[in-house]
Structure 1
Amino acid sequence: MPSFLLLPFKLIFVLLFSSHILSSSSSINSTEAEALLKWKASLHNDTQTFLSSLWVGSNHCNWVRIGCDSTGSVTNITLRNYESRVRGTLDNLNFLSFPNLIYLRLVGDALYGPIPSSIGNLSKLNYLDLAYNNFSGNIPSELCLLKSLSFFSLGFNSISGSIPREIGRLSSVSIILFMSNNLTGPIPTQISNLSKLQYLDLNQNDLTGTIPVSIVGLQNLSQLDLGGNRLNGSIPKEVGMLRSLYLLDFSGNSLTGSIPASIGNLSNLVYLYFYSNYLSGSIPSEIGLLKSISALDFAGNNFSGAIPISIGNLTRLERLFLSENSLSGHIPQTYCNFTYFQLSNNHLTGPLPDNLCLGGVLFRLGVVNNSLTGPIPSSLRDCKSLIRVRLEGNHFTGNISEAFGIYPNSDRIGLSDNNFFGELSPKWGLCPNLTSLRISNNNISG
């Protein structure tokens, strides 16, 4: 009697099933290796040579930047930051050969051509990053079938067309990075279905239309960057309901209207950028409720009225940019440790705040073309951190040799068109990095 007939039935089944699994895995593994080699053969000659130095040996699981699971099936394909040494298209990479692929990262190379729609068949794919290449064409709607996808980056390519409405099907996605492409059309309202979304970056494209009110559905959103597009209309007051926001950037668009007071609800906000739009009205006093804010940039708009006194109470505020508006009134006293303080080209009056360099970290000060008066505050006289000082076109007074100290890091100092007087002190020669000193149209001698 054959010995195998003496084995228990369950053990025979396990052996036969295991043999089937091993045979199936071996077949998949062979197909995966062949698919990678076929793709390599289709690339530019110098790329083939380069990949040959990484993919050495018969076992593809031992190749550099190729990862496999315990059965030897490919789960990870990573070719990143090889300084354009990987050149070619994805046309000949058969993604159907990789049923267990979880991580696909082809970043910082010279890949071009369309993004294959067959990537949408990678049902286990969790991470897709094709940034910093030269991909063109549309975003295939098939990519929105990737229900396991959590990270989705196509940034810094030449991708055109609209964002597919099917993007609302990516139920697991938490990060979408489409910045610096040529995307057009509106932001699809279906994006509000992505309840797990934390980062949405669409900046530097050519998107049009309004900011969708439905974006309020993204309650887990911590970074929202829509800057550098052609969006119009007003800022929806519903933005104030996105209480998890850490960064909000609507800069470089064609937005109109005023800033909604609801912006003050964003207590976790650290970076707020609305510069280079057509926003108008006064800056709401509710801005003073943003206790975590570090950078505030409203430059290049049509804001009028006074700077809210409440801004002076934002103790974490380091960068304030309000230049190129129509703001008037006095600059409020401040208790911030500014590194950048830019209020040029407004209609501001009165003196500079007394403690602008209180923290000793002020790098750049710009208040050009206002109607500011009075002497230079004592905190600025020996502010050794200053790199650039621009005070031109005001009514400042004081003895130039006493009003200013030695600025060892400064490269440009502009004092023209004021009422400074006195002799130019030899101490200016102790500023080793100074390349430009503008003092015309004052009462300076020596």
Structure 2
Amino acid sequence: MGNETDRQALLDFKNGINQDPFQIMTSWNDSVHHCNWIGITCNPFNGRFQGDIPQEFGRLLRLKHLNLSYNSFTGNIPSNLTHCTELTVFALGHNYLTGGFPAWIGNFSSLSIIVLALNSFQGRIPQEIGRLSRLEMFQIYGNQFSGTIPASIYNISTISYFSVTQNRLHGELPQDIGFNFPNLEVFAGGVNNFTGLIPVSLSNVSGLGLIDFAENKLTGTVPTGLGSLTGLYRINFNDNKLGTGKKGDLDFLNFLTNCTNLEFLGLARNFFGGELPDSVANLSTKLKRLKLGSNLMHGNLPVGIGNLVNLTLLGLEKNFYTGSIPDDIGKLQNLVELHFTGNELSGLIPASLGNLTSLTRLHLESNKLQGNIPSEIRNCRSLIELNFSDNNLTGIVPKEVMSLSSLSVVLNMAKNALFGSLPTEVGRLINLKELDVSENKLSDNIPSSLSSCLSLERLDMHSNLLQGQIPKTLEALRGLEEIDLSHNNLSGKIPRFFVNFSTLRKLDLSFNNFEGELWNEGIFANSSVISVMGNDKLCGGAPNFHLPACSKSTTHSSKTQVVRVIIPVTVSAIFILFICFFSVWYVLRKSKKQKLEASFSQNFRLYNSYQKIFQLTDGFSEDNLIGSGSFGSVYKGVLNENGVSGATVAVKVLNLEQKRATKSFMAECGVLKSTRHRNLLKIISACSSVDRQGNEFKCLVYLFMINGNLDEWLHPTHRAAYQMRSLGICERLTIAIDVASALDYLHTYYHTPIVHCDLKPSNILLDEDLTAHVGDFGLAKFLLKGSENPKRCPMSSELKGSIGYIPPEYGSGCEVSSLGDAYSFGIVLLEIEMSRDKQEQSPQERGHNCDTFRSYQYG
């Protein structure tokens, strides 16, 4: 607590004290900082209480407000609290409390707020709650309460906030609830087992803003009367059993056009039938997320859907829509996700999709779309997922699509009628994990430029007309887990480099024209991983492949090659033995790291919710706090899901009260979502959500760097265990080269040059091998192509960066260019040089050190 708000709060507390016999508060004035006032301790970290809630609270007979939320309390609610009969606020949310809902709370006649959310309470909700005639907030979501909601609660007319989401409750919602809760503003009960109809009487609650009963078993339809509630901003009935599958199910949408504040409408995964009415185009222009997927809707998509200009997500997947995609879809320029998967849409893919420059996920698979893939897709430079598979598309694969280096999750064009060669521009997909062009009519050779796609984990090109040999350059793709080249016209020998692909779980080379002896080592010793059937000219290999034995000529040729190899191998034996130990050690460490990163990749989506992040950091425990600053706090977390138990990550939680915190979050996501380089800090996940009190919450999850940051090594104050030694000359040089490699990638090889703008030792993280990783891209800038002169800003503009690392040129105009990073890099190199303990170096070594770093600084 070190800000002005804390100081004012302390002064207000002082003003409320009538007697101060020991004159403790005489120092509480402006003569000294409030952190130095007697009795005050300022702690920059988030304090969290642990253990049981003390029974002594029960002695506070006149206590009115009890708020112990957002701590780490465990155990039951203490029984002594029964004496606190004057309580008006009873808030214990966001802890680890267990036990049942105490019935004696019904004796607190003045109680207006109950918050027990996000704990581990269980059992039934007591009938005695109905006695609380002044209750306004009833918040018990995120527990394990079971049974039905007591009918007595529905008699409390003062309730305005009612949330029982994510429990094990069942039963029907009272049809007269709208008359019993006239002041209701929030009505939420999602992720339970509620049945029956949505109460029609809710239309009488004029102040209702949120109704969310997703993931239940509600039946019937949505009452048309909800359209009279002009204050509604969220309606969520995803994952229920609403609708009959027939015409008229969606008539209520005609009335929702009156809800001018509506931002979220969720009706996905129900049984709504009929056509989507044209009135959907007249819904609130504030609407951001429209989810209608996985229903029984049919007919054409409304032409006016382009009126919903603020949509960020449009989900119409897995229905029976026909006709073409409306051209005015291109008006939705704020759209981030577009899902049309699994319909019967036909016609051309509209070129207007190229206007959706914010789009990150475009899913058009499993339809009947025809014609060419529009080259205008090249304008969607934020795409990370693109799926056109299982359609009737023809023509060549546009090189413009293959140039979208932002694609990092999947590019799938399988099951179409695309022909011609795969463009060499495929090598620009350096961040892509999955490429699927199978079941087309692609011909010619596999482009050798594929070797640049170093992030590839799955490559599927089966059932095409590909020919020629497998390029030797593909040896670089050591991260591949699945390769399917079956059912083509490939020929030549199967490359030996596949032997060393230790991460491969599937290699299908069947039904081609490969020839020669099959290898019998590495992954080729496992027939469950390899498939080579249908290659009649192959021989040898492991017995499980059932291939014919190789002829004598082949064997003789093999023996001759062996003799030729033995001589140089024998000569080099001593050298090989010398490096053997180091090689084995390095491979094992690298393999371990690759497996860990693969596990992280598989669990990406597991850590993009507040609840998961909360569990990951043990409730943001102070024991897991690594550090904090103006940006927020960084916590250490341990993964415990799907094979990555015990793996450590770092969670950067942003302080959104700080100026530019949200922009910093967006900038860092913008850079890290698609960049891939061994010397950039790897992001595992990002979370933009709300916390358990409904406040905005944003964080980033990274790989944990066990050796801290470079600043801690160069300028040690409190040396950690890993800092018992200084960096040697080789380690310093390697770190400098690592940072230079990262900057070279950002400035030169990424499709849109990126300037870090805050390069300094504390933003350079070191892993267990002291490999450097550049992080913290909160101030990063993209240098857009086509601008001859960088944008300049007046001298009054706020300087962005850290004192000591900001280039002098910024003082005369804030010019953003890669030269700024070059200057900062020079300063970092100078720190690396100057911080080295001179007593540990010989005069010759010191001279070599300086010369080396001068060449990097000025070269």
TM-score by length of 1: 0.83
SS in 2 for 1:77: strand
Greater per-residue strand proportion: 1
Counterpart of 1:104 in structure 2 is 138
Counterpart of 1:120 in structure 2 is 154
Counterpart of 1:40 in structure 2 is none
Whole-angstrom CA distance in 1 between matches of 2:307 and 2:162: 34
Counterpart of 2:323 in structure 1 is 281
Whole-angstrom CA distance in 2 between matches of 1:72 and 1:138: 28
Establish whether residue 229 from structure 1 lines up as the match of residue 270 from structure 2: yes
> By how many angstroms is 1:355 displaced?
2.6
> Of the two structures, which has the highest relative contact order with CA contacts closer than 8 Å and spacing of 6 or more?
1
What does 1:65-80 align with in structure 2 at a 5 Å threshold? 65=92, 73-80=110-117
Whole-angstrom CA distance in 2 between matches of 1:223 and 1:369: 34
SS in 2 for 1:371: coil
Structure 2 residue aligned with 1:366, among 412, 433, 438?
A: 412
Counterpart of 1:298 in structure 2 is 340
Whole-angstrom CA distance in 1 between matches of 2:146 and 2:134: 25
Whole-angstrom CA distance in 1 between matches of 2:115 and 2:200: 29
Counterpart of 1:434 in structure 2 is 480
Whole-angstrom CA distance in 2 between matches of 1:324 and 1:55: 62
The 1:53/1:355 distance shift into structure 2, 3 A limit, reads farther
SS in 2 for 1:183: strand
> By how many angstroms is 1:258 displaced?
0.4
Amino acid at match of 1:214: F
Counterpart of 2:398 in structure 1 is 353
Whole-angstrom CA distance in 2 between matches of 1:280 and 1:185: 26
Amino acid at match of 1:164: P
The 1:395/1:54 distance shift into structure 2, 3 A limit, reads farther
Counterpart of 1:264 in structure 2 is 306
What does 1:246-257 align with in structure 2 at a 5 Å threshold? 246-257=288-299
SS in 2 for 1:404: helix
Contact 2:91 2:113 in 1 (8 A): no
The 1:64/1:312 distance shift into structure 2, 3 A limit, reads closer
What does 1:199-210 align with in structure 2 at a 5 Å threshold? 199-209=234-244, 210=249
Amino acid at match of 2:234: Y
Whole-angstrom CA distance in 2 between matches of 1:355 and 1:379: 8
> By how many angstroms is 1:312 displaced?
2.0
Counterpart of 1:18 in structure 2 is none
The 1:420/1:53 distance shift into structure 2, 3 A limit, reads farther
Whole-angstrom CA distance in 1 between matches of 2:184 and 2:473: 62
Whole-angstrom CA distance in 2 between matches of 1:217 and 1:63: 38
Range moving further from structure 2, 391-400 or 244-253 = 391-400
Whole-angstrom CA distance in 2 between matches of 1:419 and 1:88: 63
Whole-angstrom CA distance in 2 between matches of 1:398 and 1:285: 35
Whole-angstrom CA distance in 1 between matches of 2:160 and 2:470: 65
Whole-angstrom CA distance in 2 between matches of 1:198 and 1:407: 44
Structure 2 residue aligned with 1:190, among 221, 225, 235?
A: 225
Structure 1 residue aligned with 2:457, among 379, 404, 411?
A: 411
Amino acid at match of 1:364: V
Structure 2 residue aligned with 1:162, among 172, 176, 197?
A: 197
> Residues 250-299 of structure 1, C-alpha deviation per residue, up to 9 Å, x if partnerless?
10000010001010111111100000001101111111111111111111
Contact 1:117 1:142 in 2 (8 A): no
The 1:431/1:80 distance shift into structure 2, 3 A limit, reads farther
The 1:155/1:409 distance shift into structure 2, 3 A limit, reads same
Q: Which runs of 5+ in 2 are unaligned?
A: 1-59, 65-73, 94-104, 494-859
Tell me the percent identity. 29
State the Cα RMSD in Å.
Answer: 2.5
SS in 2 for 1:74: coil
Whole-angstrom CA distance in 2 between matches of 1:389 and 1:76: 53
Contact 2:450 2:474 in 1 (8 A): no
Whole-angstrom CA distance in 2 between matches of 1:390 and 1:288: 26
Q: Which runs of 5+ in 1 are unaligned?
A: 1-28, 34-48
Amino acid at match of 1:332: P
The 1:200/1:138 distance shift into structure 2, 3 A limit, reads same
Counterpart of 1:8 in structure 2 is none
Amino acid at match of 1:205: N
> By how many angstroms is 1:173 displaced?
1.1
Contact 2:451 2:477 in 1 (8 A): no
Whole-angstrom CA distance in 2 between matches of 1:102 and 1:58: 22
Establish whether residue 151 from structure 1 lines up as the match of residue 186 from structure 2: yes
Contact 2:346 2:370 in 1 (8 A): yes
Counterpart of 2:370 in structure 1 is 328
Whole-angstrom CA distance in 2 between matches of 1:239 and 1:324: 24
Counterpart of 2:172 in structure 1 is 138
Whole-angstrom CA distance in 2 between matches of 1:378 and 1:443: 19
Counterpart of 1:240 in structure 2 is 281
The 1:136/1:151 distance shift into structure 2, 3 A limit, reads same
Whole-angstrom CA distance in 2 between matches of 1:224 and 1:358: 35
> By how many angstroms is 1:381 displaced?
1.4
Whole-angstrom CA distance in 1 between matches of 2:400 and 2:114: 55
TM-score by length of 2: 0.44
Structure 1 residue aligned with 2:385, among 328, 340, 356?
A: 340
SS in 2 for 1:405: helix
Establish whether residue 59 from structure 1 lines up as the match of residue 105 from structure 2: no
> Residues 301-321 of structure 1, C-alpha deviation per residue, up to 9 Å, x if partnerless?
111111111112221122111
Aligned residues: 396
> By how many angstroms is 1:410 displaced?
2.3
Amino acid at match of 1:336: C
SS in 1 for 2:369: strand
The 1:57/1:432 distance shift into structure 2, 3 A limit, reads farther
What does 1:17-56 align with in structure 2 at a 5 Å threshold? 50-53=75-78, 56=81
Contact 1:123 1:147 in 2 (8 A): yes
Contact 2:403 2:428 in 1 (8 A): no
Deviating above 6 A after TM superposition, structure 1's stretches of 4 or more consecutive aligned residues are: none
SS in 2 for 1:355: helix
The structure having more radius of gyration, on CA atoms, is: 2
Establish whether residue 94 from structure 1 lines up as the match of residue 121 from structure 2: no
> By how many angstroms is 1:192 displaced?
1.1
The 1:306/1:79 distance shift into structure 2, 3 A limit, reads same
Whole-angstrom CA distance in 2 between matches of 1:378 and 1:330: 19
> Residues 353-401 of structure 1, C-alpha deviation per residue, up to 9 Å, x if partnerless?
3232545221201111100122323442131211111110112234214
The 1:410/1:57 distance shift into structure 2, 3 A limit, reads farther
Range moving further from structure 2, 367-376 or 57-66 = 57-66
SS in 2 for 1:176: strand
Range moving further from structure 2, 215-224 or 400-409 = 400-409
